[in-house]
Each structure stands twice: as C-alpha cells, then as structure tokens.
Amino acid sequence: METTQADTLPLDTLSAEPEVKRRPYLTIRPSRGWIGLDLREIWQFRDLLESLALRDLKLRYKQTILGVLWVVLVPLMAAGVFSFVFGTVAKLPSGKVPYLVFSFAGLLGWSYFAGVLTKISGCLLGNSNLISKVFFPRLILPLATIGSNLVDFLVSAVVMTVLLVIYHVVPSPAVLLLPVWMAILTAIALGLGLSTAALAVSYRDIPYIIPVFTQILLYASPVAYSVSAVPERLRWVYSLNPLTPPLEAMRASLLGTALPATQSLLLSAGLALCILLTGLFSFKRMESKFADVI
Amino acid sequence: MGANDIAISIRGLSKAYVITHQQEKHSTLAETLLHKLKNPAATFGGSKETFWALKDISFDVNRGDVVGVVGRNGAGKSTLLKILSRITEPTLGEIDLYGRVGSLLEVGTGFHPELTGRENIYLNGAILGMSKREIARQFDGIVDFAGVEKFLDTPVKRYSSGMYVRLAFAVAAHLNPEILIVDEVLAVGDAEFQKKCLGKMKDVAKGGRTVLFVSHNMAAVQNLCTRGIMLRSGQILVSGDVDEVVSAYLSEGISSMDGRVDLSDHPARAGRSAPWLKSMTFIGDGGRPSSRFASSRPISVVVEVAPPRPIANPRVAIAIEDHLGRRIGTAASYFNIGNSGRYAEPFTAMMTLDKVNLGPGRYLMSVSIAEPGGGLLDSLDSAAFFDVEWDSLYKTGERHDPAYGPVVIHADWEVVPGVTSTALA
C-alpha cells in the first residue's frame, strides 16, 4: 500500500487556501507500480519484530521435554548419519579432521539456511489471522523468523566450538569472516523465502514443494561431502549453485583449510544479492493483495 | 468547523474484488499451469467478475466525533474498516488521516494459547502497534482492567473464555490512538463487561479522540455515537445525526404495510443460512393482514416455511424487539408444543397473543427456525416491524408513557384503609 507520511505533502493541500491546513498524518491511496522499501516504517515496528521473534523462540522451547537440547541433538544426529554413510560406507575424503566434525561444520551453515527458508516460505500462511486483522509492514514476519533462527545458529555454534576443542582442530583466521558467509546465506534464504512466501498465498502447493526442494538442495551442496569429492568434469555445473562458496568457506575457515577462490565467493555474493532483490520485489508486489487472497 | 478540525477525510473511495468463477478457480500452481497448457489462449485464472464492495464513498469525520457505521451484512462496512486500518488497500480514491489510527477488528488478534497472560499482553500490544515502553507504562492498567492479576503467569489456554476476552479487550482499550476504529468487539463477554467496554469507549470519545464504531447493536450505536453513516451495497445511503441513521437502518428492506413480509430474499437473513423461512404475516382483529395493532386487541403471526429437506419437530421462534432492536421477549413453538410433527412439504406455524400488551410505538420482529438438537437453520433479525396504537389498556383511560417500559403489565389494584396486617385479614 502506498502511504505518504507527514513529510511528503499531498499536492492538493498546497493549493492556495487562506487558512493554513494541517498536514495529514497519513494518506491512504492505491499503490502504483514498484514502491521502494519503507525502511522507516519497519523501524517503527521494531518492537513487533522483536516480539514475534521472541514468540517463535518461546513456543519452540515450551512443552518440549528436552527443550534447547533438540537444537543441539538434531544436527549432531544428522552429522552422525552423514559420517556413517559418506565417511564409513562411501569412504569420501574429509581432509585431516574426523568425518563427524567435517559434516557438522557443513551442517552449521546449512541448518541455518534451511531453517530460514522453510520458516519464511510458510510465514504468511501461518500468520493469516494477523494479516487479515491488523496492519503492520508485512516484511516484519519474514524478518522475525531470521531472528529466531540466528539464536538456533548460536546454540549450534557453541556445539561446534566444543567439537573443535575435543578434536584439537584449529580454525584459520578467516573464521572472523563468519558473519560475511552468514550474510550471503541469509540473503539467498531470505530472497528464496520471500518469493515462495508470496507465491504460497495464492498457490497452496508451494508448502509441499519446499521440503523436497531443500532436500535436493542439501545433496547438491557441499554439506555431507566436500567439493573435492565431486568429479572434475561435473564441477562447473556444481559451481552454479550459489550456496557452494559460502558453505565451503564456512567449513574451511572453521577447520583451518583453504578458502574457495575469491572470484567464486564474489560471484556467489552477487547472485545472492540478485536473489534477495527478486524476492523483495515479488513480495512487495504481492503485499497489497495478501489480505484479500489469504 | 474549520479544516483544522477534520480527523478523517475520505474522497471517492472504491474497492473492487475480483471474483473468479468456481469451476475455473485454481488454487494450486500445478492446476494453473495445467489449465494454461490445455488452453494456451485463456488468461490465468479463467473468467473473472468484478465486485465493487465500496463505490465512490466520500465523507469527512471531525475530531472528537463518535461515528456509528451501520448496514446489513455485505453492505461494505468491513471493507471500509479494513481500508481505514490499512489491512487492504483501496482500488480508487484517497483517505487523509489526521492522527494515529488504532483499529480493533477483533479482540485478541495474535493471542497465542501457549503463552502466558504477561507474554500475550506484550505480544498483542506490539501487534496493535504499541511500543514496548508504552506497554510497560500501561501494564498495570491493563491487568487491572482485565482483572487477571492472579493468572498473569498462566498460559492463556487455561483461561476461561471470559478472562480471555477481558484480557484481550483490556490491551486494546489501552491503545490510546487519536483515531479509534472498533468493530463489534462488544458482541463478546458478559453484560457487565460489555458495559465496562462501552464506558471505556465513551471515555476515549470524551478525551477528544475520534471513534468509528461498527455494530449491529443499534442500542449501543445510539448510546455511544453522535453521528452515523449507513451503507447499503457499498454506497452511503444516509449520513448525519445518529437517530436518523438508526431509524433508517431499522426500517431498511422491511415493507410490512399490508402486514405480509416476504422473507425469501430478505436483507436481514443471517450470514449463510438457507432460506427456510418464506414469509411472515401479521394478522389482526377480524383475521385480516395488517401492520397496525391496538394494544388491547389480539395479534397473530403466521410464518410460512418451505423446508429444503424433510424436518421433524421444527422449532419456530419469534422475538419482539423495541425500535432500537433491544429484545423484549421471545415466543417459540416448542415452549408450548413438544412434538410438532414431520414435514417434507411447505408448512405454516402460527402464534397468537390474546392481547398485544405493548405501549404505543414501533416494534421489530425477528423470526428463526431450528431443529431439535441441531443448530439454527434460518434466522432473520429485526426482519419486520409493526406499529402499536394505544387504545387505553388501562381501565381509567390513563395514557402510556415510554418511561413505564414497553410491556404493559396486567395488574389488579386495591387501595384500602388501614395497614397491611388488617387489610389482609
């Protein structure tokens, strides 16, 4: 919805009136074309962002017996399965570190990515009662899911640290760039999530596609295995996946091995930006129709 | 009033909904793509029809006004509120709002059953647009208004429905915006709490803030509002003084000049109920249909029912309301007849009162049909009106005064000398 807040004055109120007119606090009118991101409005609703993220967190840990342990156990179990299947059975290389640590380092970034993508793609349908009853910038809902997923990531990061200490693995200084790898992953997850969330409002089969899509993406990305295990002639196809460089970079910096090529990281960052902008665009374009369709 | 006193200015507001016809509606991506493949020429979504929920609405609301928005279901009230509260956007037109808007289209929006009362106050407050600081400042007031001090740290799923509603309204009531938009929230909670809510809304209005109130309860509208707007089919039918608007609403769609009211396509029919009730006829003295009755003479109401499917022991009920829609009394067939039989074909239910027994004025009548054990099959609130003329129901010829109340109580009086004990001896 296009709205003008008091600082942009509607033209008709500038017409020559002897009386000094008050400016409207807000003007509601039909939106036309592409509207810029109203970051100020999102800032005004920052308390809602915080409340919704807190709600997600509280609900996750209420009434579950193991509570926070689940966040630790699920990736640990997945890493255990991967190290058995890919390390013990398929005998894929994991460098100098045990396969468990190797696959956990891959899952750290992946779990965050998959969590954000899944949560965002369902966030509009899951909050349809809010969307049809109150106004707030709709972008708040997907943004709030990032908050709760970041907390999960931090818990997993603590487990990662413990594993590194146990197995005497020394990270490289590039570990300081962890926020950069996370930013690329966030941009891709947010971008894909926003597009699918907007589509899911009109097309109810999207929520069924997402889990299958993420499952395929998991095996198409270097999580359970490393890029070096991919046959040379297939590498170029493999490098088209923008998730590959940040996931590899995250693992490499944690395990102290060589980072992927800088240009592939830059390419991935550029692609991530495109995906994010596409997501934002399709979300904003559909935003005004959510309440009517949902 | 100068331009500086305007709170809301609406110009040429219209809202269109596109209705896609059922047989061609695709709600999954796969269906849409399949359809597109089969009919490459067809546009996405199939044949469409535009429905105008609001058509060229223009009006101004002054600061401090309490405006009642009335109209039958589907008149466009909810659409207007949704646009004003920015949930949906207009198709055409503009609205200038001079102040922060708080809207209550439903109490307890976003309440989560697993969270405690305290957590829900913060969450719900944030959803309604309050900052954390604002909520913290109002916290004690909210808890006090709702009366849930003891249960603050209990998940709201363990609350009684009354407590739940009280807490939800309490948060909303402390929103304190310059413009408050309220939709039917008073329809919930017990009588005492409704009174409290009405009182709170009156305070809001007294504080110089602007209130837009949508309700089907005409007594509440008249009690609370100074001005009114009546919508019908997306357009403003009447706007102005609240009394004028309320009486226009109450006489809408009901022409009972000859005493017979066709109910088959009546605007008062509730929601999605099927048209079981066909007609209602008032019959007066001498067995002729009429819409005017003398207070001391008999009245009969004949209800014709066309059952879409066979029904056993139908329960037909009739309720009388005063001119503001406040219920005076109800008479239902099953109060008198236990088994009324089984009907597959149209049938008739007739109620007779020996005497009208009401003070002079206009009265409304609601009618409904239900199944034993089942729910309401069809119901029309305030579907017809009739007028009562005073013909001296009192032996002395004393006139009736509205202050006596609408119902005439039959009483025998004796006045004798002495005190009670000797008088009764």
Minimal C-alpha gap between A271 and chain B (Å) = 26
Task: Please check whether residue A162 is in contact with residue A256, taking contact to mean a CB–CB distance below 8 angstroms.
Answer: no
Which positions in chain B touch A199 (Cβ < 8 Å)? 29
Nearest by CB to A133, from B96, B109, B112: name it: B109
Of B97-111, B176-190, B252-266, the range with the highest mean pLDDT is B97-111
Instruction: Please list the alpha-helical segments (H only) found in chain A.
Output: 39-44, 46-61, 69-82, 99-126, 128-133, 140-166, 178-202, 206-219, 235-238, 244-255, 262-287, 290-293
On whether any CB of chain A is under 8 Å from the CB of B84, the answer is: yes
- How large is the C-alpha radius of gyration of chain B? 26
Q: How many CB atoms lie within 10 A of CB B36?
A: 15
Q: Which residue has the higher pLDDT, B34 or B168?
A: B168
On whether any CB of chain B is under 8 Å from the CB of A22, the answer is: yes
Judged by CB atoms closer than 8 Å, whether chains meet at B3 and A29 is answered as: no
Which positions in chain A touch B30 (Cβ < 8 Å)? 205
To which residue do tokens 């819409």 refer?
A: B291
Task: Please check whether residue A159 is in contact with residue A111, taking contact to mean a CB–CB distance below 8 angstroms.
Answer: no
CA B418 from centroid of its chain's CA atoms: 53
Task: Please check whether residue B245 is in contact with residue B68, taking contact to mean a CB–CB distance below 8 angstroms.
Answer: yes
Nearest by CB to B97, from A28, A48, A292: name it: A28
Which positions in chain B touch A54 (Cβ < 8 Å)? 123
Which positions in chain A touch B87 (Cβ < 8 Å)? 131-135, 291
- pLDDT surpassing 80 at residue A231: yes
Calpha distance B4→A19 (Å, rounded): 9
- For B111, the closest chain A residue by CA position comes to A130
Q: How many CB atoms lie within 10 A of CB A128?
A: 14
Minimal C-alpha gap between B80 and chain A (Å) = 12
Q: Is the ipTM of this complex over 0.85?
A: no
What percentage of residues in chain B have a pLDDT greater than 70?
87
On whether any CB of chain B is under 8 Å from the CB of A140, the answer is: no
- For A292, the closest chain B residue by CA position comes to B88
Judged by CB atoms closer than 8 Å, whether chains meet at A135 and B86 is answered as: yes
Q: Tell me the pLDDT band of A19, cut-offs 50, 70 and 90.
A: very low
Look at residue A97 in the predicted model and tell me its pLDDT. Answer: 86
Interface size between A and B, measured as CB pairs under 8 A: 127
Report the DSSP pairing between strands B376-389 and B292-294: parallel
Which positions in chain A touch B182 (Cβ < 8 Å)? none
Q: What secondary structure letter does DSSP report for B407? A: B
- pLDDT surpassing 50 at residue A120: yes
Calpha distance B131→A120 (Å, rounded): 24
pLDDT in tens, A128-141: 888 888 888 889 99
Q: What CA dihedral angle connects B25, B31, B34 and B40, to 10 degrees?
A: 30
Q: Tell me the pLDDT band of B340, cut-offs 50, 70 and 90.
A: confident
pLDDT in tens, B33-86: 777 666 655 444 456 678 888 999 999 999 889 999 988 777 888 889 889 988
- pLDDT surpassing 90 at residue B202: no
Task: Please check whether residue A107 is in contact with residue A160, taking contact to mean a CB–CB distance below 8 angstroms.
Answer: no
pLDDT in tens, A99-118: 999 999 999 999 999 999 99
- Main-chain phi, psi angles of A133, to 5 degrees: -120, -25
pLDDT in tens, B389-412: 887 777 777 788 888 888 988 888
Q: Residue B259 is encoded by which pair of tokens? A: 């005493």
Of A3-12, B11-20, B268-277, B342-351, give the lowest mean pLDDT range: A3-12
Sheet containing B292-294: which strands, arranged edge to edge? B292-294, B376-389, B361-370, B315-321, B327-332
Report the DSSP pairing between strands B92-97 and B101-104: unpaired
Average pLDDT over all residues of chain B: 83
Task: Please check whether residue B18 is in contact with residue B24, taking contact to mean a CB–CB distance below 8 angstroms.
Answer: no
Judged by CB atoms closer than 8 Å, whether chains meet at A131 and B93 is answered as: no
Which positions in chain B touch A17 (Cβ < 8 Å)? 3
CA B90 from centroid of its chain's CA atoms: 25
Q: What secondary structure letter does DSSP report for B69? A: E
pLDDT in tens, B114-167: 889 999 999 999 988 888 999 999 999 999 988 888 999 999 989 887 788 888
Calpha distance B279→B305 (Å, rounded): 7
Task: Please check whether residue B123 is in contact with residue B110, taking contact to mean a CB–CB distance below 8 angstroms.
Answer: yes
- For B115, the closest chain A residue by CA position comes to A59
Judged by CB atoms closer than 8 Å, whether chains meet at A30 and B88 is answered as: no
Q: What is the sign of the dihedral through the CA atoms of A175, A181, A185 and A187?
A: positive
Give me the helix-helix angle, A178-202 and A262-287, nearest 10°: 30
Which amino acid appears at position B341 of this protein?
G
Look at residue A266 in the predicted model and tell me its pLDDT. Answer: 94
Average pLDDT over all residues of chain A: 85
- pLDDT surpassing 60 at residue A33: no
Nearest by CB to B109, from A17, A26, A130: name it: A130
Minimal C-alpha gap between B286 and chain A (Å) = 54
Of A240-254, B117-131, B265-279, B309-323, give the lowest mean pLDDT range: B265-279
Chain B, 94 to 153: residues with Cβ < 8 Å from chain A are 94-101, 103, 105-106, 109-110, 112, 114-115, 119, 122-123, 126-132
Q: Which residue has the higher pLDDT, A283 or B259?
A: A283
Nearest by CB to B126, from A29, A48, A205: name it: A48
What percentage of residues in chain B have a pLDDT greater than 90?
28
Which positions in chain B touch A47 (Cβ < 8 Å)? 126, 130-132
Q: Is B280 helix (H, G, I), strand (E, B) or coil?
A: strand
Chain A, 107 to 136: residues with Cβ < 8 Å from chain B are 129-136
For an interface test with B, the pick among A20, A25, A208 (most B C-beta atoms closer than 10 Å) comes out as A25
- pLDDT surpassing 50 at residue A16: no
Minimal C-alpha gap between A111 and chain B (Å) = 26
Per-residue CA distances from A68 to A61, B116, B149 (Å)? 6, 19, 30
Look at residue B1 in the predicted model and tell me its pLDDT. Answer: 46
Task: Please check whether residue B117 is in contact with residue B154, taking contact to mean a CB–CB distance below 8 angstroms.
Answer: yes
On whether any CB of chain B is under 8 Å from the CB of A18, the answer is: no
Q: Which residue has the higher pLDDT, B275 or B104?
A: B275
On whether any CB of chain A is under 8 Å from the CB of B27, the answer is: yes
Judged by CB atoms closer than 8 Å, whether chains meet at A134 and B84 is answered as: no
- pLDDT surpassing 90 at residue A56: no
On whether any CB of chain A is under 8 Å from the CB of B16, the answer is: no
Chain B, 166 to 185: residues with Cβ < 8 Å from chain A are 178
- pLDDT surpassing 90 at residue A164: yes
Predicted model pTM: 0.71
Which amino acid appears at position B318 of this protein?
I
Report the DSSP pairing between strands A26-29 and B92-97: antiparallel
Look at residue B160 in the predicted model and tell me its pLDDT. Answer: 86
Q: Tell me the pLDDT band of A13, cut-offs 50, 70 and 90.
A: very low
- For A18, the closest chain B residue by CA position comes to B3
Give the mean pLDDT of B299-307.
93
Sequence-distant (6+) residues with CB within 8 A of B67 are B61, B210, B211, B212, B213, B225, B226, B227, B228, B229
Look at residue B176 in the predicted model and tell me its pLDDT. Answer: 80
On whether any CB of chain A is under 8 Å from the CB of B53, the answer is: no
Minimal C-alpha gap between A215 and chain B (Å) = 20
- For A59, the closest chain B residue by CA position comes to B114
Which amino acid appears at position B95 of this protein?
I
Task: Please check whether residue B174 is in contact with residue B141, taking contact to mean a CB–CB distance below 8 angstroms.
Answer: yes
CA A151 from centroid of its chain's CA atoms: 13
Nearest by CB to A205, from B4, B28, B96: name it: B28
Nearest by CB to A291, from B3, B88, B110: name it: B88
Calpha distance A236→A226 (Å, rounded): 15
- For B18, the closest chain A residue by CA position comes to A292
Look at residue B337 in the predicted model and tell me its pLDDT. Answer: 86
- pLDDT surpassing 50 at residue A1: no
Calpha distance A80→B137 (Å, rounded): 50
Sequence-distant (6+) residues with CB within 8 A of A18 are none
Of A32-36, A54-58, A75-79, A164-168, give the lowest mean pLDDT range: A32-36
On whether any CB of chain B is under 8 Å from the CB of A58, the answer is: yes
Minimal C-alpha gap between B47 and chain A (Å) = 17
End-to-end CA distance of chain B: give it in Å, rounded. Answer: 70
Q: Is B56 helix (H, G, I), strand (E, B) or coil?
A: strand
- For A207, the closest chain B residue by CA position comes to B28
- pLDDT surpassing 70 at residue B381: yes
Give the mean pLDDT of B342-351.
93
Look at residue A4 in the predicted model and tell me its pLDDT. Answer: 46
Minimal C-alpha gap between A98 and chain B (Å) = 42
Look at residue B390 in the predicted model and tell me its pLDDT. Answer: 83
Give CA angle at A21 (A16, A24), nearest 5°. Answer: 120
Q: What is the sign of the dihedral through the CA atoms of A188, A191, A126 and A135?
A: positive
Q: Which residue has the higher pLDDT, A91 or A179?
A: A179
